Amino acid sequence: MKLVVQIPCLNEERTLPLVFAGMPAEIPGVDEIEFLVIDDGCTDATVEVARRLGVRHFVHHNRNMGLGQSFRDGATRALAMGADILVNTDGDNQYPSERIADLVAPIVAGWADMVVADRQTHRIAEFSWSKRKLQTIGSRVVSLAAGTELPDAASGFRAYSRESLVRLNLVTRFSYCTETLIQAGNKRLKIASVPVDTNPKTRESRLFRSTTEHVVRSAITILRAFVMYRPLVMFLSLGSVLMGLGLVPYVRFLVLTASGHEHGASRHVQSLVAGAVLIIGALVTYALGVIADLIRINRVLIEDGLVLQKRAGLAARSEAGHVGDRPGQRHAAGGAHERGVPEGEDAAV
């Protein structure tokens, strides 16, 4: 069994040695451990430091592409390397590398497809009271969308089985954390959680400029996921609310009329017009729900085809004895131009 540890980096020359200091040399049930550094537009000596630390595999972006794109490119590269398990950690040393063995244990044992580290946010000193509450609420909302129970949905310290990587398809570039969880839950992948203690903070987060931005972007991602995976439930619920609000003025009008207040009822014609608009909106919402559900069915069929293509491609690589790219081979992964790469190093831009 082969494990690939993926480390997205954006100018992490100072902290990357700390990440590797705790890396396990051996893990029960794992025969081989490889390291993959995602150079997400680094302008410092991160790549050189990684080479000195023994890293042989890289994905290069000519400019900063974001965490979601970095994860997607890294996962594609890991599959090409023949990974049976992929662990994603950060280059800022936030997560304890020495706990990787515990993180992959449920996958090695065969009872989990994806494992998420629980940072136990209530114990993180750097988190304010409001941030802890937002993390808790966010995790509950994501758990609801994914149909599972997760204490820390925003944690980026994760392990993925080969099967889960084949079946997941990311569409966002902001953050893969929420989207992969919701996808995994809706695709009936088994998700487990392992509690860990995070390392002291080495720098401020670069993923978002403020807590408000993080909340807004996460909410958009969750809403998009609901529309993608549970459109009928979402649109039926919204349509039912509109229908209920639209019927209120009609019920009041009927009550006034039945009680003999014809003159009083005539003064509420404007509310009947508003009710009619709401009812029409509800009917349109129901129709959108049906259309969205048909699109969901079509997307599921397309994703099934993608899974078969991925499996066929991996099987062809394995049979040909060329798991992973040949030294010096280049492949596209989201950039516009290729930068020079030493012989023996893998490249993606």
pTM score, two decimals? 0.77
Whether the predicted pLDDT of 209 surpasses 70? no
Pairwise pLDDT comparison (125 vs 177), residue with the higher score: 177
Question: In whole angstroms, what is the distance from residue 178 CA to residue 142 CA?
Answer: 7
- In sequence order, the 6+-apart residues with CB closer than 8 A to the CB of 258 are none
Task: For 56-88, give one letter per residue: b (16+ CB within 10 A) or e.
Answer: ebbbbbeeebbbbbbbbbbbbbbbbbbbbbbbb
**pLDDT the model gives residue 122:** 72
Q: What percent of the chain has pLDDT over 90?
A: 44
Model confidence band, residue 208 (pLDDT cutoffs 50, 70, 90): low
Pairwise pLDDT comparison (85 vs 170), residue with the higher score: 85
Contact predicate 152/119, CB 8 Å? yes
Name the residue ranges covered by the structural domains of the chain. 2-229, 231-300
Residue positions counted in the chain: 349
Question: In whole angstroms, what is the distance from residue 159 CA to residue 99 CA?
Answer: 11
Q: What percent of the chain has pLDDT over 70?
A: 84
Question: In whole angstroms, what is the distance from residue 52 CA to residue 89 CA?
Answer: 19
Whether the predicted pLDDT of 133 surpasses 70? yes
User: Which fold is adopted by the domain 2-229?
Assistant: Spore Coat Polysaccharide Biosynthesis Protein SpsA; Chain A (3.90.550)
**pLDDT the model gives residue 321:** 66
Mean pLDDT throughout 54-73? 90
**pLDDT the model gives residue 86:** 97
Model confidence band, residue 87 (pLDDT cutoffs 50, 70, 90): very high
Question: In whole angstroms, what is the distance from residue 230 CA to residue 299 CA?
Answer: 12
Model confidence band, residue 206 (pLDDT cutoffs 50, 70, 90): low
Model confidence pLDDT, tens digit, residues 269-288: 778 888 899 999 999 999 99
- In sequence order, the 6+-apart residues with CB closer than 8 A to the CB of 320 are none
Model confidence pLDDT, tens digit, residues 20-32: 998 998 999 999 9
**What average pLDDT does the structure give for the chain?**
83
Residue 45: Cβ within 10 Å count:
15
Pairwise pLDDT comparison (310 vs 131), residue with the higher score: 310
Question: In whole angstroms, what is the distance from residue 325 CA to residue 241 CA?
Answer: 54
**pLDDT the model gives residue 36:** 97
DSSP secondary structure, 289-339, as one string: HHHHHHHHHHHHHHHHHHHHHHHHHHHHHHHHT--SPPTT-EE-SS-SSPP
Model confidence pLDDT, tens digit, residues 167-177: 998 776 666 78
Question: In whole angstroms, what is the distance from residue 92 CA to residue 13 CA?
Answer: 9
